[in-house]
Structure 1
Amino acid sequence: MLKNFWYALEFADRVGRKPIKVRCLGQDFVLYRTRKGEVACLSDLCVHRGGALSMGTLKDDTVVCPYHGWEYEPGGACVRIPANPEGRGIPRKARVDSYPTTTRYGLVWAFLGDLPEEERPPIPHIPEYDNPAFRMVRLEMEVNANYERAFENAVDAAHTPFVHGTVFGNPDKPEIPDYTIRQEDWFAEADVQLSPPMPKGIWGMLARRRKRPEHVTVTNGWYLPNVIKLHVRLPFGELIMWDFNIPLSQDRTLIKILAFRTFFPRAWADKNAIKRTMRILKQDIPIVESQRPELLPFDLSDELHIRSDALQVAYRRRRAELIQKGWWVGDDDTVVSEHPHRRATVIPSPARRDNPELARAWVHKARSERGRLSADADGPL
């Protein structure tokens, strides 16, 4: 899992004046809106005793811990400790990590990392969102698999004739012609020629009015850290899907999808569009959940690659570069786990970089650090 990126955490219309818990990178966060409508994103771990702030309430713009009533403002600082007698100050370390947020494309995004604003990778551009020629539906589902397995599956054109045969691929013509990758620092995409099956149902009604093409052009692309674009140019219109593969933990992924179409661009066809998309996604689930090893190998030579895998190979090489930069979130850094932890490392927020004296305000040492850091190094509050 990669930190120092913008992650789409939730659909924007689900975030309001009641704190809610969301999960990403094996950690829990609390989201809520301030009175001005801005979204706050805090670590869902009270610094005092690790209570879940998402179970608390809002008091003006502060979130109140349900355990001992500590109040945190949107920037993460504790502003009230009810147990303190009048006149007693609040420790400087009484704070939780707060992460930058923005709302774009109907989604709430949080920057999970500590890079300064000018160094942060961009959010992918989704031009279809504001284009009136497209009709959008949204959907979501969970997969009991690592997000990188789901991520690579979505960008893999060669599996479609076999996993989605007669629905999205043609098992009689499974060949993938060589393709050229367009790649920059944060994305890679390619135009792939696929032989399509004859569509059925209301989509087939449109297809029968036109000559069936020998091939359709499908643009597959990945956008770091976890976004996939699938652009299918059908004879009767365009279908564009943006997949957000949210890593809940090492072995669970929440997939949120924005699906755009230019055909049947009215509300009456939305239910059918969702049904068709879900049908395709559900065909992938048993395959992805059965892959071994469960986690994507770090070494390219650990799995065999051919030319049709070029997009996945490009991702793995770029991932290796970012791991070398220290952007990887490993087992020792995750809070959400089937195994109990005595300590947990919370992803650093920009406030830690901006305020070095507060850098260890809420850092429970990772297991790999136990031998060299004392459990009492920070001292009492």
Structure 2
Amino acid sequence: MLKNFWYAVEFGHAVGRRPRKVTCLGQDFVIWRRRDGRIACLSDLCVHRGGALSMGTLAGDDSIACPYHGWEYGPDGGCVKIPANPPGRGIPSKARVDAYPVIERYGMVWAFLGDLPEEERPPIPHIPQHEDPAFRAVYWETTVDANYERTLENVVDAAHTPFVHGTAFGNPDRPEIPDYEITGDDWHAEADILLSPPLPKGLWGALARRRPRAEHVVVSNGWYLPNIVKLHVRLPFGDLVLYDHNIPLGQNRTLVKIVGYRNFFTGRWADGNAVKRIEKIFEQDRPVVENQRPELLPFDLSAELHIRSDALQVAYRRRRRQLMDRGWWVGGDDIVTGDVPRREATVIPSPARRDNPDLARAWVHRSRGETVNEPARSAE
């Protein structure tokens, strides 16, 4: 799993004035919409006795109150009230939790999970369809018992379509993938791939039959670091563009949030049909991805065999390796460990740890099952 990126952790329309728990990179967070419309994101763990802030309530001036002892935290993670304190008693400077930068864009809530200063952070992918009035968006999500990199690579793998999707999306009689050229930069890679699809069925098929049958369609496939896949299908009657946000709940479980854009049948009446098609295609992928071995993507590029049609996946793995060497991989420094029973929890450092060196160890995180005999390390 990669840190130091903007992660889309929730649909914007799902976040209101009630605390909401989200999980990413193995860590729990709490998000809520502030009075001015902006969204706050904190680690979902009260520093006092480990209460889940997402179970609390909003109080005062945009602060969140822990359900256990009522400690209140502002959007910056600092504790602003300890109800048990008598009047005049101050709040310890170490009474705070990690706060993460948040941007709401393209219908998603993006949290920066890492401690890089603003000028060094990778960009949020540009999604032009969201701002184009010709397109209409639908939203769908599911969880998958597989590693997020396996779900990501599955979508950029054009060669699997004739076999996993059969006549629904692929063409078993024409499985060849012509060589393609990759374009991109340090944060994304994309390619136009020629596929020979079957004739659409149902509502979309009725529209397709009014136009000449094309031998091939151009499918633009690509990935955006750290976890997003774009699939742009140019149908005879319009464009379908899907963005898959593969959110790593942990090493072997992924929350997939898909935003699908279409510039045909743009009335609300067709939303259900569009969602049904997205779900059908995804559910064909599920059993294959959930049963891949090894469960985690190998670190060594040579550990699996690659051919020319795997070029997008190879580009992803090479760039991933570079970022791992840079120290962006979630590793031992991001894990706290308990002992009876021995369990682990992820703690992603926030920018405040870098901005306030004296408080780098202020936030103590403990995993479930940990005893006081062996206190866990706080991440730096």
TM range (shorter): over 0.9
Instruction: Show the counterpart of 1:63.
Output: 64
* RMSD between aligned residues: 2.1
Equivalence map 1:1-381=2 (5 Å):
1-60=1-60, 61-330=62-331, 333=334, 344-364=345-365
- Deviation for aligned residue 1:262: 1.5
Tell me the secondary structure at the aligned position of residue 166 of structure 1.
Answer: helix
Q: Distance in 1 between matches of 2:252 and 2:377?
A: 33
Cα 1:253–1:335 change in 2 (3 A) is farther
Q: Distance in 1 between matches of 2:159 and 2:108?
A: 30
Tell me the secondary structure at the aligned position of residue 317 of structure 1.
Answer: helix
Q: Distance in 2 between matches of 1:221 and 1:186?
A: 11
In structure 2, give the amino acid aligned to 1:46: C
Cα 1:199–1:76 change in 2 (3 A) is same
Q: Distance in 1 between matches of 2:375 and 2:264?
A: 62
Further displaced range: 315-324 or 87-96: 87-96
- Deviation for aligned residue 1:134: 1.2
In structure 2, give the amino acid aligned to 1:32: W
Tell me the secondary structure at the aligned position of residue 297 of structure 1.
Answer: coil
- Deviation for aligned residue 1:334: 5.4
Q: Distance in 2 between matches of 1:274 and 1:76?
A: 38
In structure 2, give the amino acid aligned to 1:14: A
In structure 2, give the amino acid aligned to 1:23: T
Structure 1 gaps, min length 5 = 367-373
- Deviation for aligned residue 1:343: 6.3
Q: Distance in 2 between matches of 1:231 and 1:31?
A: 31
Please tell me whether the aligned partners of residues 334 and 349 of structure 2 are also in contact (alpha carbons under 8 angstroms): no
- Deviation for aligned residue 1:36: 1.5
- Deviation for aligned residue 1:38: 1.4
Q: Distance in 2 between matches of 1:20 and 1:144?
A: 23
Deviations 1:190-218 (Å, cap 9, x if unpaired)? 01000111111111111111221111110
Cα 1:377–1:320 change in 2 (3 A) is closer
Q: Distance in 1 between matches of 2:375 and 2:318?
A: 40
Cα 1:376–1:285 change in 2 (3 A) is closer
Tell me the secondary structure at the aligned position of residue 352 of structure 2.
Answer: helix
Cα 1:340–1:111 change in 2 (3 A) is farther
Tell me the secondary structure at the aligned position of residue 137 of structure 1.
Answer: strand
Deviations 1:9-49 (Å, cap 9, x if unpaired)? 11112111111100101010000122222111000011112
- Deviation for aligned residue 1:378: 8.8
Further displaced range: 282-291 or 327-336: 327-336
Tell me the secondary structure at the aligned position of residue 46 of structure 2.
Answer: coil
Please tell me whether the aligned partners of residues 27 and 336 of structure 1 are also in contact (alpha carbons under 8 angstroms): no
In structure 1, give the amino acid aligned to 2:26: G
Cα 1:204–1:334 change in 2 (3 A) is farther
- Deviation for aligned residue 1:364: 4.0
Q: Distance in 2 between matches of 1:255 and 1:113?
A: 21
In structure 1, give the amino acid aligned to 2:63: T
Q: Distance in 2 between matches of 1:4 and 1:201?
A: 44
Give aligned-pair identity as a percent: 71
Q: Distance in 1 between matches of 2:263 and 2:114?
A: 37
Deviations 1:46-100 (Å, cap 9, x if unpaired)? 1112110000111121111111111111100111222223332221111100000
Q: Distance in 2 between matches of 1:106 and 1:378?
A: 36
Please tell me whether the aligned partners of residues 165 and 171 of structure 1 are also in contact (alpha carbons under 8 angstroms): yes
Deviations 1:113-167 (Å, cap 9, x if unpaired)? 1111111100000100111111211111111111000000011100000011111
Q: Distance in 2 between matches of 1:207 and 1:98?
A: 50
- Deviation for aligned residue 1:106: 1.2
Query: How many residue pairs align between the two structures?
Result: 371
Cα 1:365–1:345 change in 2 (3 A) is farther
Tell me the secondary structure at the aligned position of residue 97 of structure 1.
Answer: coil
In structure 2, give the amino acid aligned to 1:133: A
Instruction: Show the counterpart of 1:371.
Output: none
Further displaced range: 111-120 or 133-142: 133-142
Q: What is the TM-score when the length of structure 2 is the normalising length?
A: 0.93
Cα 1:139–1:14 change in 2 (3 A) is same
Deviations 1:296-342 (Å, cap 9, x if unpaired)? 110011111111000000000100110111111147745799x9556
- Deviation for aligned residue 1:345: 4.6
Q: What is the TM-score when the length of structure 1 is the normalising length?
A: 0.93
In structure 1, give the amino acid aligned to 2:95: A
